[in-house]
Amino acid sequence: MRLMKTLSVTELTFAIKSLLEPQFRGLSVQGEISNFKMQTSGHLYFSLKDAGAQISAVLFKGNAASLPRMPKEGDQVIASGELSIYAPRGGYQIVIRELQFIGLGELLMKLHQLKERLEARGWFAKETKKALPKLPQRIGVVTSPTGAVIQDILQVLARRFRGFHVVLNPVKVQGDGAAAEIAQAIDDFNRYDLADVLIVGRGGGSIEDLWAFNEEVVAKAIFESKIPIISAVGHETDFTIADWVADVRAPTPSAAAEIAIAEKTNLLKFLRDTRTNLEQRVRQQVGDIRQRLSMVQKHPLFASPHTIVEPKAQALDAMEEGILVAMRAKIQKERAALQSFERQLALLEPTRKIGEWKALLKGYSDRTGAAMKHLIGLKKDRLQRIADHLQSINPRSLLKKGYSILFAKNENSIILSTKEITPHQTVRALLHDGEILATVDEIR
């Protein structure tokens, strides 16, 4: 039996390290990034995985500095480097020297093709752009509720103006289903008329992060929107299909908020300038009037008040005399008219007319009284006939003719048939002048 040498853990680990590492230098591995973590040192740690397995990977700060962008969960990449055994944990990992993102070329080609197709439809034409409202009261925002975009927009609007409403329709701005949510939010704003102008956007990122705004469904919703739309996607250097289709493109979300209220800003500036000009003109006119008043006060006519008051007093006396003459003439004319009316009244003899009308009214009153008496008599006769008829059909009247009505002893139900009675049953018989109790001996 062959005896095996006993190794320490360190010896075994370094033996494996010396065997494996030389065999796997200069390797390239394709996979998906997961468990991504960036240390404060700047080194990047993550796993590369596919459908069947995963392997740990590290990208040191020096190599990470040359990346076009920071990796993220779900990125498909090709990692080039070497295999390394990390002795303290007894695990193996890939030390990555270069990291290449795959699929970017396909996205750029897809973006270029969609841009050409929509441009051929006329969706980018200036003639299709809608003018922004001058004084929007309702500003709609389509973006993530947790990102910095909505906070930037609210800060700009709150700093500038009051008296308007911001309506947020929260959506995902990247990942599966983001494009459909953005398009649906734009459609909802239009269907329910919730805003005067819309801001659609998100913060910066890679082309993959911004891809939802390059989808045709979003472009279609923007193009068909009746509400003017300001696109604010990414940073100033980022361009998406949404930017080209929108009515106005803003370089940042904050700039979008500025654009939405730009007309109101200009109007307020115009009002302030107008107020300043009016105040200056009023001050100038007041100064001119004061100067003219000072000149008038120095006129010789005002040196002696009598030169102004005396002519006015004389004119007032003349006016008073004219009024008295006119009043006398008016009184004389009215007195003559009154005398004429008195003569006409005497000719009409109103006392005689009043007597005739009284006699006529008395005849009407006598005839009306007779007619009422006759009508009341007819009504009384008819009422007596109805009372007699009711009395004749009153059941108690029939009882006076020898009839009676049977009731169950302790009930008020009338017995209408012999089938409702049993032998030896006690019944009540109602007569015209009282009741009797009887016992049934036989039923025939």
Report the half-sphere exposure of 247 (CA within 13 A, side-chain side): 22
Same domain, 28 and 80: yes
Task: Give the pLDDT score at 190.
Answer: 96
Average pLDDT, the chain: 84
Residues 421 and 438: their CA atoms lie apart, in Å, by 12
For residue 216 the two structure tokens come to: 């045709």
List the CATH number of the domain containing 47: 2.40.50.140
Pick from 102, 117, 144: which residue ends a domain? Answer: 102
Residue 29 CA to chain centroid, in angstroms? 54
Region 276-286: mean pLDDT is: 85
Of 393 and 105, which is predicted with more confidence? 393
Q: At what angle do helices 306-348 and 350-392 cross, to 10 degrees?
A: 70
Among 100-104, 191-195, 335-339, the minimum mean pLDDT is found in: 100-104
Same domain, 48 and 143: no
Same domain, 173 and 249: yes
Same domain, 35 and 146: no
Report the half-sphere exposure of 149 (CA within 13 A, side-chain side): 30
| 404 backbone dihedrals φ, ψ, rounded to 5° | -145, 165
3-state helix, strand, coil in the chain (%, to 5): 50, 20, 30
Region 229-241: mean pLDDT is: 86
Task: Give the pLDDT score at 305.
Answer: 61
Pairing of strands 434-439, 138-143: unpaired
The SS3 assignment for 52 reads coil
Pick from 59, 87, 102: which residue ends a domain? Answer: 102
Region 367-377: mean pLDDT is: 85
User: Shortest CA distance to 395 belongs to which of 406, 385, 384, 379?
Assistant: 406
For residue 416 the two structure tokens come to: 């209408």
Of 168 and 359, which is predicted with more confidence? 168
For residue 301 the two structure tokens come to: 């006519």
Among 143-152, 168-177, 271-280, 301-310, the minimum mean pLDDT is found in: 301-310
Pick from 87, 102, 117: which residue ends a domain? Answer: 102
CB atoms within 10 A of CB 60: 14
352 in a structural domain: no
173 in a structural domain: yes
Task: Give the pLDDT score at 120.
Answer: 94
Same domain, 46 and 149: no
Vertex 234 angle, CA 230 and 239, to 5°: 75
Same domain, 165 and 52: no
List the CATH number of the domain containing 170: 3.40.50.10550
Q: How many domains does the chain have?
A: 3
**CA distances in angstroms from 347 to 87, 334, 341, 353, listed in the order given:** 144, 20, 10, 12
390 in a structural domain: no
Taking the model in full, what pTM does it have? 0.45
Task: Give the pLDDT score at 308.
Answer: 64
For residue 166 the two structure tokens come to: 């911001």
pLDDT band at 59 (very low <50, low <70, confident <90, very high): very high
Of 306 and 414, which is predicted with more confidence? 414
310 in a structural domain: no
Is-contact 156 184, C-beta < 8 A? no
Task: Give the pLDDT score at 139.
Answer: 92
Task: Give the pLDDT score at 286.
Answer: 86
For residue 240 the two structure tokens come to: 């998406």
pLDDT tens for residues 390-406?
777 776 776 777 788 88
> Domain of 93?
9-102
Residues 156 and 31: their CA atoms lie apart, in Å, by 43
Same domain, 144 and 235: yes
Is-contact 148 141, C-beta < 8 A? no
Same domain, 154 and 246: yes
Place of tokens 């299709």: 128
Same domain, 89 and 185: no
339 in a structural domain: no
Same domain, 67 and 184: no
Same domain, 96 and 139: no
Same domain, 30 and 143: no
Q: Is residue 368 over pLDDT 90? A: no
Residues 428 and 345: their CA atoms lie apart, in Å, by 89
Q: Is residue 292 over pLDDT 90? A: no
129 in a structural domain: no
Residues 210 and 124: their CA atoms lie apart, in Å, by 19
Residues 323 and 53: their CA atoms lie apart, in Å, by 120
Residue 86 CA to chain centroid, in angstroms? 61
411 in a structural domain: yes
Of 6 and 268, which is predicted with more confidence? 6
235 in a structural domain: yes
